[in-house]
Structure 1
Amino acid sequence: MAEVTVLGAGVAGLWAARELLAQGITPRVIDRAGAPGPHGCSWWAGGMLAPQCEGAVTEPIIVRHGAEAAHAWGKVTELQRKGTLVLALERDRAELDRFAARTEGHRQVNAAEIAELEPHLAPRHRRGLFFETEAHLDPRRALADLVAALEADGVTVQCAEALPEALSGPVLDCRGFAAHDVLPELRAVRGEMVLLRAPEIELSRPVRLLHPRHPLYIVPRGGGLFMLGATQIESAARGPVTARSALELLSAAYALDPRFGEAEIVEFGSDLRPAFPDNVPRITPRGRVLHLNGLFRHGYLMAPTLARQAAAFIATSEKGDLFHED
């Protein structure tokens, strides 16, 4: 088979390269900004592998395929398999009932059980849901570990400007929103996050705080660091985190535990998530280019499965079938 080029070194592109190697194909990986960093959407992710929780707002296919993510990531990077705790303030307890009705794989927990799971949250919360099988990881470490695994197999990320039509041979396009010019249905959904340092607070797992307007998740990163996310704004505008978003995220964290009010703000960040109208990612053939895109807020959850499917499709396709010249 002709050399396969992977465009984009975010979570989708790196997993695509890994899965191509598993098919016996050595890929070339190109990214206009080089190795993963703040320039990419994957850098700003929460790193939650929480398919059951996502079932409250997404399609069943995400839940089904997302259930495979923790197993795949566990072969690449350090993984925390401690579940997800979902809480709501007493005034918002109806949100907890609605969340429970829309999801599976949880059990109800009372104040004593919450205190056992997360002692630092006691006695502020009386009811919750515990999704025991879910997991989380540190996205930046996971990206670095993916890059290191590829380099061990002789694949490096090349820093270069490249468009699919200018390349020869099969192309697996994983550029995210940068591919919107050839995928007209693709839209941008802006997400914003805050990284806090609060060494006096200890959490061992992601905690979701439900709210009618400003739902929040907090993911522990170790060493007293916590990632707060994330806004979901229908906008293609890049730029710093807005004051409104910062207030919403920080206010929700304060509501979860007032001690977050004394936390040190380490970092604000934002980027554009690529999404199709139904918010379900897809693999789209276009001539000799195969697009893997639209991961929306499910990048770390869905990248392993989609990459495996794309790599298998490439490996089993004849050059004159999928990969023909336009």
Structure 2
Amino acid sequence: MRILVKGAGVAGLATAWQLYRHGFDVTISESRERAGLGASGFAGGMLAPWCERESAEEEVLALGRLAADWWEAALPGHVHRKGTLVVAAGRDAGELERFAGRTSGWEWLDEAAIAALEPDLAGRFRRALFFREEAHLDPRQAMAALTASLEEARMRFLFGAGGKAGGHDRVIDCTGAARIGRLPGLRGVRGEMLALETGEIRLSRPVRLLHPRHPIYIVPREAGRFMVGATMIESDDASPVTARSLMELLNAAYALHPAFGEARLVETGAGIRPAYPDNLPRVSEDGETIHVNGLYRHGFLLAPAMAGEVARILLRQRQFERKAS
């Protein structure tokens, strides 16, 4: 069975890898010149199902609990299993109680425990929630490594103008926001991020700073870089980051630690995240095409589960065809 996967973002690459592992003949097409140039490249890369459960349905937790294991199996050494720290300024301490009441998998930390976990945050917060079982990865490194692994396994990539291909038994459409207006109910949610660089502060894990209006997360990268995100705006406008959003993200980063006030702003970015009305992803069939879409803000967390669902559909079809022959 020859499979064409359309789209080389996180959904397409994860699906291609899952199908390769089951022995399918896979070609990946992408309209851009390389993988990971869409919204996936602006992701936080947090494998944080318990934190996400605070504002999402139980299904996000159920589908995402094994995501870190999937990524570790696919890309050994790329997953950092150091948990997630959730903090709030003193005036917003009630936000911690509210957050804790809407999810599970956490433990309370006092000021000394926060300092032991993240020394550069010593004395800045009296209490925190620690989600010990969560993990994170660098999205761009992960997608580059997954692309390299697929190429090494002789899976074919068709980039740019050569991204259209025919002669396949099934098509898996993972083109995300490109399907807005074509798949019923799919809408765009704009997310904005920035990257800061500084040697004045070190963090070992993602830190979420709660705020009634502007909650943010800061994810450490290599070489003193930090990804700061993200806004959520109901819009499919992919224009550059707005001045308002930039100020909100920078102010929140400064509130986490004043050292971010002297950091270098090395990147800003905006991406359109496709979402269905219930904000849950879907795998749907339309003739010979299988659509994987609606991953919203949970791309790296839920792509493995969606890839598994696609594999189950195709494995059932392959088994039926073998019996029929």
TM (normalized to structure 2)? Answer: 0.94
In structure 2, the residue matched to 1:76 is 74
User: Which residue is equivalent to 2:30?
Assistant: 31
Counterpart of 2:212 in structure 1 is: 212
Q: Cα distance, 1:316 vs. partner?
A: 1.1
The count of aligned residue pairs is 319
Partner of 1:44: 42
- Closer, same or farther in 2 for the Cα pair 1:167/1:192, shift >3 Å? farther
Cα displacement string for residues 170-218 of structure 1 (whole angstroms, at most 9, x for unaligned residues): 1000000101243031100000001000111010000000000000100
What is the alpha-carbon distance in structure 1 between the residues aligned to residue 305 and residue 174 of structure 2?
14
- Is the CA contact (8 Å cut-off) linking 1:23 and 1:312 kept in structure 2? no
Q: How does 1:159-174 map to 2 (within 5 A)?
A: 159-160=159-160, 168-174=168-174
Q: How far 1:162 moved relative to its partner?
A: 8.3
SS of equivalent residue, structure 1 residue 128: strand
Amino acid at match of 1:178: A
Once residues 296 and 68 of structure 2 are traced to their aligned partners in structure 1, the CA distance between those partners, rounded to angstroms, is 18
User: Residues of 2 paired with 1:33 and 1:181: CA distance?
Assistant: 20
- Within 5 Å, give how 1:223-238 maps onto structure 2: 223-238=223-238
Q: What corresponds to 2:16 in structure 1?
A: 17
Contact residue 187 and residue 236 of structure 1 kept, 8 A: yes
Residues 290-323 of structure 1, C-alpha deviation per residue, up to 9 Å, x if partnerless?
00000000000011111011022112126999xx
Identical residues among aligned pairs (%): 50
Supply the AA of the counterpart residue of 2:315. Answer: A
Q: 2:106 aligned with 1:106, yes or no?
A: yes
Unaligned runs of 5+ in 1: 322-326
- State the AA in 2 paired with 1:101: G
The equivalent residue for 1:92 is 92
Change (3 A) 1:7 1:319: farther
Distance of 1:319 and 1:178 partners within structure 2: 32
TM-score, normalised on structure 1? Answer: 0.94
Using the TM superposition, give the Cα deviation of residue 119 of structure 1 relative to its aligned residue in structure 2, in angstroms: 0.7
2:228 is the alignment partner of 1:253? no
2:134 paired residue number: 134
Judging changes above 3 Å, is the alpha-carbon distance between structure 1 residues 180 and 164 closer, same or farther for their aligned structure 2 residues? farther
**Cα pair distance change 1:26/1:34, threshold 3 Å:** farther
Once residues 86 and 272 of structure 1 are traced to their aligned partners in structure 2, the CA distance between those partners, rounded to angstroms, is 26
Output the CA distance in 2 between the equivalents of 1:121 and 1:108.
16
Task: Quote how far apart the aligned CAs of 1:259 are.
Answer: 1.1
Are residue 155 (structure 1) and residue 155 (structure 2) matched? Answer: yes
CA separation in 2, counterparts of 1:165 and 1:15?
A: 20
Is the 8 Å Cα contact of residues 9 and 34 (structure 1) preserved in structure 2? no
Q: Name the SS of the counterpart of 1:316 in structure 2.
A: helix
- Tell me the SS of whatever aligns to 1:182: coil
Other-structure match for 2:119 = 119
Structure 2 gap segments, 5+ residues each: none
| Contact 1:106/1:131, CA 8 A, preserved across alignment | yes
C-alpha change, 1:164 and 1:172, in structure 2 (3 Å) is: farther
Which aligned runs of 4 or more in structure 1 are off by greater than 4 angstroms?
160-168, 318-321
Please state if 1:62 is matched with 2:64.
Answer: no
- Following superposition, the deviation at residue 75 of structure 1 comes to 2.0
